[in-house]
Every structure is written in C-alpha cells, then in structure tokens.
Chain A
Amino acid sequence: MSLNIIVCVKQVPHPEHFSRITLDPIRQTISREGIPAVINPLDLHALEEALRIREELSGKVTAISMGPPQARCALEEALAIGADDAVLLCDKSFAGADTLATAYSLACGIKKLGRFALILCGNETIDSATGQVGPQLAEFLGIPHVTSVIQIAFEQGSSLIVRQALEEGYMKVRVKLPAMLAVAKGINQPRLPTVWAIMEAGSKEMQIWGASDIGATQDMIGLEGSPTHVTGIFERDTTRRREILEGPPRQIAKKAVNRLHELIAT
C-alpha cells in the first residue's frame, strides 16, 4: 500500500515569546511583530505520524500551509523534518481569513494536489485554539474526520481504526479512507530534523499557489469569505484576588464556606 498523505501546518508565534504578544485594538488582531515563529506544536505530531506511516507503508508526505510569505519558513522546516514536498497558499486575498475561509482555501489547494488517502493536522493551534479548521476542511472535501486522535492503525482494505481521546478514556473509531484526522499530543514524540536533512531540504520542491492557482472563489476566501466578525478584543484580567481570613479555625472554615457560596452565587 502506498499512500499520499497531506499534513496541514500553521506557523504560530513561538510559545516562549507569548508574553511579548500585544493586542492591536484598531485592527482587532493580535500583533506578532518581531516575535519568532514556529510550526504549531501539534502539527509537528501530525507530521511525525505521517512520516511514520510513510516509513511503514511507503508513500509520499506533502506539507501544506496557508499564510504570508514568511510561512515559507514553517514549510522549509517541515521539509527538513521529512516531508517530501510542500505547498504554500499565499495571496493577499487570503488575508483576514477565519477558520471557514482558511479551511475552504486549504480544501481548494488539496483538490489541486490530486489523490490523497489521508489528511493529518494538529487538533488545534496554540495561537487561536479553535480546533475548527480540520473538521471544516473535511466537510469541504466531503470526507470523514476524527479529532483528538491518539493512535492510528491500518486495517486490511482501505480503512483505519483510530483511537480518539475523550475526557475520560478513549473511543475506537473505524474510518474509511480518504479521511482527515486531527491528532492530539499523546500520539507520538516528534523527531528533530538531522543535519543531513536540513541540508537536503532546500533541494525539495515547494510550490507557492495564489487564489487563482487553486481556483478559489473570491467571496469564499480571506476577510470577505469569513462569516466570523471580531467585535472586540481585550486582554483578560488574570490578577489573582486574595483574601486572608483570620480567626480561630472553626470560624475561618465557616467564613470560607460562606465566602465560597457568595462567589458561586455571583
């Protein structure tokens, strides 16, 4: 069995520099300026799983991303880690996309890539954490999807048995290929690129496609194609409010219970 596997990656701000992220109240976005970028950590798990499947069953791994020109760096890293080729969807008209417009654009890009057996992505990103793009992408492509995947096993024929993490325990799901799986952290330990692979990455193919290359409908992409409207952006107050209760232990306990009741009521 030889499989074409597509891995969706997103470039996100480096988690170590989150404290430097500021809010832009006028454009109602977060400002990432000057903050180093990395591949979304869960996407690295998706890539690792794709590489393991390729190593076991043979096939090809294509990394795809939608983003500004600098998102190229994330794809270069994916190539160094082991992807065979990469596609960057990059066009000014993609800017301002919400999850739906992003999923649509990715779906157009993936359709252009041709036949595939599996799409893998991280369950959510660390910068927006909606977890929506993967399932929306699957819907656009008309294929089944499973989220929070922590194990993938191939069955005879063209189906998979995947283990989906639940809040308590897990569920085994049989999925027919082609399918989209959003993976969770426990699935594997992502590898680092080797020096040899880093040096080879530059010779691998990376295609850059704009909206017209993928046949995307203008009113489905970017800000125009995004039904989500941000009406306000603010920083949550995370100051801890402390109260010191004094007195004999019994009284403190009573006060504490009363105080908790008050807080729950509000």
Chain B
Amino acid sequence: MDFAPTREQEMLRDMVRAFAESELAPNALSFDEKGEFPFEALKKAAKLGLVGIINSKEYGGSDMGHLARMIMIEEISRVYPPLGFYFQTGQIGMYGLQNFGSEEQKKKYLPPLCQGDTVMAWALTEATGGSDASTLQTTAELVGDEYNVNGRKVFITAGETADVVGFVAKAGDGTNLLLVEKGTPGFTTPRREERLGLRSIPVSELAFTNCRIPKENLVGQEGRGVRLALAGIGAVGRPGAAAVSLGIAQGAYEVTLRFAKERNLYGKAIVQLQAVQFALVNMNVETEAARWLCYYTGWLLDQGKSPGEIGPDIARAKLYATDVANKVCLKAAEIMGGYGLSPEYQLVRRLRDALELLPAAGAQDVQRVIIGGAIAR
C-alpha cells in the first residue's frame, strides 16, 4: 500500500495552486457576482494542460490520469469552485468522446475542447428526473440519415455556453447518446435557471423541436445511450463532484482558520479557545478523510477499474465529501459570526456552492442507494 503522491502529482498540485491563487483568487468574488462563465480562466487552464487531463495526447490532452484530475479539481475548487464544477461536467463529455466516440468525433471535438476554445455539456436529466433514466421523454427518431429530436433537458450545466452537447434520447426500444452543436436549427436553450451557487457556470434548459441531427453524431453503439451516459457520470462526473466538494471544504477550512487566528476575543485569538479549536479540528479531520476517499477513487480509476466495478467507492467519496463540504461551511459560518456571511470574507460563496453539490452527479441519497445496494447484497 503506497499513500505517497508521485513527484509529478506533487508538482501538479503546486502548479494548480499557483494558477488558482494568481488567476482565480483575485477575481473569485467578481466572477461570482457577475455570474459570467470564466472563459479566460478556462483558456489559461487549458494552456497548462488541465482541461484535457484525462484525454490522450493524440487529441490534445495531457493524459495524466484520474487521480491527477482529482488533485487538479480539488485545488481549483479550493479557490474557485465553479471552474472546478465545469471540469466536473465538461470532462464527462470529453471522457465520453475519448472512450466511446468515433475517430472522426474525437478528431473534430477533442482538440478545441482540450485547448479551452470550446465548451462541452452533458445532458441526461429531464423534468421527470435525472437518475432514473427509464423516464426519459426526449426522443430521437431516425429519418433517413438524420435523427429527428424532440424533447427537453433541464438543469444542464454550461448548457447555454456549450459549443457541443452530448445528450441522451429514446430511440426505438433503447436510448442513444448523440451530439448536438450550438446553433443547430431546432436546438435552443430557452431558459437559464436561477441558481443559489456556482453562479458563473450557467445551468440551462435545452429544447429540441424537430431538431435534425446527422446520423454520424451518434456516440457509441445504437441503443446504449443511457449506459454510456451513466458510465461517463460514474467515471468522471461523480468523482469530479467529490473533488469539487473536497476543494470547497479545504478552502472554507482555511478561511476559517485564518479568521480564527486573527480575530481576538477576551484578549486572545479565538483559535486559542478550545470550543473553536475543537470545531476546527473536526473540519480538519473530516476534510482529510474526504481527501483520501477522493484520492482512492481516482487511484482505482487509474488502475483501470470501470465505474461499474467501483460504483460504491465512487459513491462513498461523493457522499462523504459533499456532506463534509456543507458541514465545514456551516460550522465556519458559526465561527466567523457576522463576518462569515459577508461576501468579502469569501465563505458565503463557498457555502452556496457547497449546497449546489448536494444534488449534483446524483443526489446524496442516490449515493446511499448505490452503497446500500452493495452492502445489503
């Protein structure tokens, strides 16, 4: 058993931390207030090889693996969770293209995605639910060489920003995973959802009205759409959500610790008060525990385990890290008092972001269902 990070992973962490501190930290508050997609930061991250971190070099990726991705998303989210969250979802699509896409699809879409020139979204959820794919209403009917798509998707991260969206639709007896490009006639993003957190990554509704999509936009095998979409969510989306949560917990813990060292009460810094110290200790221990669950998941994926084989491990990381992120942020708000809820102290945005992670990539109870299914067997 080897818990030591490799030298490459250490250098990656240092690099991402330096990037986040210099490029994201000074703007985090204004990004959040404006609610605009951080295109410039994405491009800079892409130049460093962070966007294509699980894509092969052949298509412009840097191919450092899933554990490296966890570290990268953690460090980005420690400073600015919304960009980490874009990696959580955008990279599902990039993983899907890499693993299930045709050679033409990989060549066409992956290089500009890895370079940060384009943005990708992944759309499974509909108004009837996200995790129960049997209720899908969107249809793709093959007419000649095209699919005629009708239906709606909801809560799609970066849906209106994306240049290409991977989505699932019912096709005959099965489901198909298809690609739709921005601007395709019949494809619109009619509504942007008002969100509490992760405000600079828009969440949108997608509408398909007799939208014609060429047959070659089918990703993977006909009829296996949901399976492929869930494989992407399992291998990339859920671990990504865990890593975003971990980063939020770490960031909130650090903000609170700094505050507790500076804030004086009864003639000494409040970090010296045992009640505050114990709360900080709990934050520290739980964040560290979440970290190892997250890293273990990344390591398992790097060992070639399929998301199906390690579903409960991934679910554990997402469930626990997201719980910890919320717990840490709430406790931080207690310790910091009124300051904690003032935007300039950088806690309140993290608290809002942590709440957004609860339903992301499978709600907390969905994770419990997965783990429960494994232990009750």
Contact = CB atoms under 8 A, between A and B. Distances in A.
Contacts of A117: none
B64 interface: yes
Contacts of B11: 76-77, 80, 193, 198, 201
B18 A198 contact: no
Contacts of A80: 11, 15
B188 interface: no
Interface in B1-39: 7-8, 10-12, 14-15, 18-19
B49 A202 contact: no
Interface residues of A, number: 14
Interface in A62-78: 73, 76-77
A195 B12 contact: yes
Contacts of B10: 73
Given A73-B7, A192-B48, A198 B12 contact: yes
B53 interface: yes
Contacts of A73: 7, 10
A217 interface: no
B47 interface: yes
A195 B7 contact: no
B47 A194 contact: yes
A199 B18 CA distance: 18
B241 interface: no
Contacts, number: 44
* Best-buried of A38, A193, A195, A198 by chain B (most CB within 10 Å): A195
B7 A199 contact: no
A192 B18 contact: yes
Interface string A186-211: 00000011111011011000000000
Contact of B7 (A38, A194, A196, A202): A202
A90 to B, nearest CB: 17
A13 B89 CA distance: 37
B119 interface: no
B133 interface: no
A193 B15 contact: yes
Nearest to B44: A192
B255 to A, nearest CB: 15
A202 B8 contact: yes
A192 B19 contact: yes
Nearest to B48: A194
A195 B14 contact: no
A195 B64 CA distance: 7
A75 to B, nearest CB: 11
Contacts of B15: 80, 192-195, 198
Given A77-B11, A80-B11, A199-B62, A194 B49 contact: yes
Interface in A25-84: 38, 73, 76-77, 80
A192 B12 CA distance: 10
B8 A77 contact: no
Interface in B173-224: none
A88 to B, nearest CB: 14
A196 B62 contact: yes
Contacts of A193: 11, 15
B62 A194 contact: yes
Nearest to B47: A194
Nearest to A73: B7
Nearest to B11: A198
A192 B8 CA distance: 14
Given A192-B15, A194-B48, A195-B49, 10 more contacts: A76-B7, A77-B14, A80-B11, A194-B62, A195-B12, A195-B50, A195-B68, A201-B8, A201-B11, A202-B8
Interface of B: 7-8, 10-12, 14-15, 18-19, 47-50, 53, 57, 62, 64, 68
Interface of A: 38, 73, 76-77, 80, 192-196, 198-199, 201-202
Question: 6 shortest A-B CB distances, which residue pairs?
Answer: A195-B49, A195-B62, A194-B49, A198-B11, A194-B48, A192-B15
29 contacts: A38-B14, A73-B10, A76-B7, A76-B11, A80-B11, A80-B15, A192-B18, A192-B19, A192-B48, A193-B11, A193-B15, A194-B15, A194-B47, A194-B48, A194-B49, A194-B62, A195-B50, A195-B62, A196-B49, A196-B57, A196-B62, A198-B8, A198-B11, A198-B64, A199-B62, A199-B64, A201-B8, A202-B7, A202-B8
